[in-house]
């Protein structure tokens, strides 16, 4: 199959929407990362998404809508607190897990009776949903297990020949996937996957915000994941990623002792003046780290990195999302010095 690169003009967006209506898969830009979009109500189309990504069948897809008011068409029940959250954070990088109805086939929800609903803010994505008139299922457009794509070029790299088209909507604003939450009660939510809608932001609406244990810890054998995505190794480039927690001085000493061929470090911008070994920088604060992380992980592979020591980010605010992706990329290998 030839994968066509489309631009963000209206004629091309119409083409993308037509392809989705016909049951094809299209790489589409969102404000978080690029997605592999398909008609969420079309089982055959959704099957192709799982195939293109090589994704396990029990890992559910998020359904993207043009407006939160449409969530009622695909769910059995929407708690009041979900409307309050939607008022504040939709459109934007928030996914709410809600009880699904029959319009969402089981293949889309990975066999669960719930569905993750998200209203993206990216104008191109929004327009494609509108023009297609369909709920759009879209996982991140990477090969399963590899870092998520934050540009059309990344999607082309992973999906060329496997999908009908990719729409180029520029570089993704946030760079990490949406915050996924489940609703525990009319005053409490649980973060299943951290993102740029942070715990602190959710606390403006909910009196209790629980951080699911699986966000920072490896699941024990036999333990059930609240979010199936949490049980798989993720975001991993070919290079071996090792997270190192400690101050800059100890980090430099540690890398010095372990330096060798193919060894890189992923450091903060502020470290770069004094850091003496081969490195890439990934930003000056958590938001910039989120924006750059996946791109850097791909660039490290391109540079031929074999082993990458990463300075651990903070775990508050958006930092929790960055830390969560890194700890998975590292297969939970963290060194505390
Ligand atoms: O920002 C995003 O969310 C991107 C863009 C394309 O919108 N999409 C994305 O999709 O990251 P994906 O499939 O790569 O990740 C979806 C995550 C998985 O960890 C999955 O297990 C979880 O959300 N999830 C989806 N539906 C769920 C459900 N019904 N219950 C629990 N977890 C769910
Ligand atoms: Mg993903």
What is the whole-number distance in angstroms between the Cα of residue 8 and the centre of ligand 1? 25
What is the whole-number distance in angstroms between the Cα of residue 82 and the centre of ligand 1? 17
pTM (whole model) above 0.95: yes
Count of other CB atoms within 10 angstroms of residue 208: 12
Tens of pLDDT along 221-237? 778 888 888 777 677 88
Where b means 16+ CB within 10 Å and e means fewer, 86-102 reads beebbbbbbbbbbebee
How high is the pLDDT of residue 148? Answer: 97
Protein residues with CB under 6 Å of any ligand 1 atom? 30, 32-33, 35, 59-62, 93, 95, 97, 109, 112, 114-116, 118, 138-140, 177-178, 180, 192-193, 227-229
Cα 319 to chain centroid distance, Å, stands at: 14
**Residue having the nearest C-alpha atom to atom 17 of ligand 1:** 229
For 128, residues 6+ apart whose C-beta sits below 8 A from its C-beta are 13, 16, 17, 20, 26, 28, 37, 136, 167
> Quick one: which atom of ligand 1 is closest to the CA of 114?
29
How high is the pLDDT of residue 126? Answer: 98
Question: Which segments in the chain show pLDDT lower than 50?
Answer: none
Q: Which residues pair with 63 in a beta bridge?
A: 117, 137
What is the whole-number distance in angstroms between the Cα of residue 255 and the centre of ligand 1? 35
Is there a contact between 12 and 155 (Cβ–Cβ < 8 Å)? no
How high is the pLDDT of residue 227? Answer: 85
How high is the pLDDT of residue 206? Answer: 97
How high is the pLDDT of residue 234? Answer: 75
């Amino acid at each position: 199959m030839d994968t066509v690169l489309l631009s963000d003009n209206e004629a091309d967006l119409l083409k993308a929407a037509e392809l989705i209506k016909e049951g094809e898969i299209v790489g589409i830009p969102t404000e978080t990362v690029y997605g592999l979009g398909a008609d969420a109500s079309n089982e055959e189309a959704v099957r192709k998404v799982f195939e293109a990504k090589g994704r396990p069948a029990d890992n559910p897809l998020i359904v993207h809508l043009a407006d939160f008011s449409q969530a009622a068409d695909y769910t059995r029940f929407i708690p009041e607190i979900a409307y309050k959250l939607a008022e504040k954070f939709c459109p934007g990088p928030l996914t709410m897990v809600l009880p699904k109805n029959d319009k969402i086939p089981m293949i889309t929800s990975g066999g669960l009776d719930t569905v993750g609903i998200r209203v993206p803010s990216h104008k191109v994505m929004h327009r494609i949903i509108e023009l297609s008139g369909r709920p759009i299922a879209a996982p991140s457009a990477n090969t399963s297990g590899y870092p998520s794509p934050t540009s059309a070029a990344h999607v082309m790299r992973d999906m060329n020949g496997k999908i009908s088209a990719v729409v180029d909507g520029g570089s993704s604003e946030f760079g990490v996937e949406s915050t996924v939450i489940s609703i525990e009660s009319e005053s409490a939510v649980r973060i299943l996957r951290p993102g740029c809608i942070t715990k602190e932001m959710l606390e403006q609406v909910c009196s209790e915000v629980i951080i699911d244990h699986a966000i920072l810890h490896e699941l024990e054998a036999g333990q059930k994941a609240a979010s199936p995505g949490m049980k798989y190794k993720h975001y991993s480039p070919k290079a071996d990623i090792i997270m190192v927690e400690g101050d800059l001085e100890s980090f430099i000493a540690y890398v010095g002792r372990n330096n060798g061929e193919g060894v890189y470090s992923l450091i903060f911008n502020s470290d770069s003046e004094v850091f003496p070994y081969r490195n890439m920088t990934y930003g000056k604060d958590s938001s910039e780290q989120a924006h750059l992380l996946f791109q850097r992980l791909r660039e490290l592979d391109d540079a031929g990195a074999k082993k990458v020591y990463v300075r651990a980010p903070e775990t508050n605010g958006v930092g929790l999302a960055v830390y969560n992706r890194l700890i998975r990329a590292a297969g939970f290998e963290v060194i505390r010095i």
